[in-house]
Amino acid sequence: MTDSMTARINELTRKYPDREAALLPALYLAQREYGYITPEAMEFIGETLSIPKATVKGVATFYSMYLHKPVGRHLIQLCTNVSCMVFGAERLVDILRDRYGITPEGTSQDGRFSLVIMECIGACEQAPAMLVNNELHGNLDENNLHSILERYK
């Protein structure tokens, strides 16, 4: 890990009265930097913030949006909760598997996409909905799913 990483984590701590409070943003920082939260990153963050290694791991694994293994170039986060389910979200999961070889918690063989099944992402008025990386796509169906995914190479 680099000096710049230390500086950036220290910068995060300035927002809080207590260094430990910078743990969640520091984990996000590591995830953006390395694609997922590596064991080395957890150790480094723990040392920088004076938090025991086991505590860092306990926190990092509690929250579902922290990734603990490498993922594909694009992360699909598809909601299948009730409002999305009644408009066919589960069918979309089948299509992703059959047509693209992407299974929940898995990555396509070409390394292009990973898929995570989400609980409600607060876009139920455009159900079914998904986030691809940080972009929201709604009113999905069999046809537009394909054209949307084509934008992510």
Partner 1 sequence: MERFLLKGIENTGSADISGYRKAGGYNNLAKALAMQPAEIIDEIKKAGLRGRGGAGFPTGMKWTFASVDPKFPKYLLCNADEGEPGTFKDRPILEKNPHLLIEGMAISAHALKTEYGYIYLRGEYPKAKDILDNAIKQAYDEGFLGDNMLGKGIRFHLSVHQGAGAYICGEETALINSLEGKRGQPRLKPPFPVNSGAFSMPTVVNNVETLANVPYVIQIGSAAYSKIGNPECPGPKLFSVSGHVERPGVYELPMGTILREIIYDHCGGIKGGKKLKAVIPGGISTPVLPPDKIDCPMDFVSMPKFGSMLGSGAVIVFDETTCLVRVCYRALKFFEHESCGKCTPCREGTAWLRSIIGRVEEGKGKKEDIDLLVDVAGNIAGKTFCPLGDGAAGVVANFIKHFRSEFEDHINHAGCRFRN
Residue numbers at the binding site for partner 1 (CB under 8 A): 15, 17-18, 20-25, 27-28, 49, 51, 58-59, 62-66, 77, 80-83, 85-86, 118-127, 131, 134, 136
Say if residues 81 and 44 touch (Cβ distance below 8 Å): no
Q: Which does 136 bind (CB under 5 to 8 A by kind): partner 1, ligand FES, none?
A: partner 1
The pairing of strands 74-79 and 113-118 is: parallel
Q: Which residues contact 67 (CB under 8 A, 6 or more apart)?
A: 31, 35, 36, 37, 75
Q: End-to-end CA distance of the chain: give it in Å, rounded.
A: 30
The distance of closest approach from Cβ of residue 135 to ligand FES in the complex, given in angstroms and rounded to an integer, is 14
Say if residues 67 and 37 touch (Cβ distance below 8 Å): yes
CB half-sphere exposure, 65, CA atoms < 13 A: 15
Nearer to ligand FES, 25 or 88 (CB): 88
Q: Which does 18 bind (CB under 5 to 8 A by kind): partner 1, ligand FES, none?
A: partner 1
Closest-CA residue to 38 (of 2, 79, 69): 69
The distance of closest approach from Cβ of residue 109 to partner 1 in the complex, given in angstroms and rounded to an integer, is 26
93 binds ligand FES (CB under 6 A): no
Q: Which does 54 bind (CB under 5 to 8 A by kind): partner 1, ligand FES, none?
A: none
Q: Which stretches of the chain bind ligand FES, using CB under 6 A?
A: 79, 81-84, 120-124, 127, 129
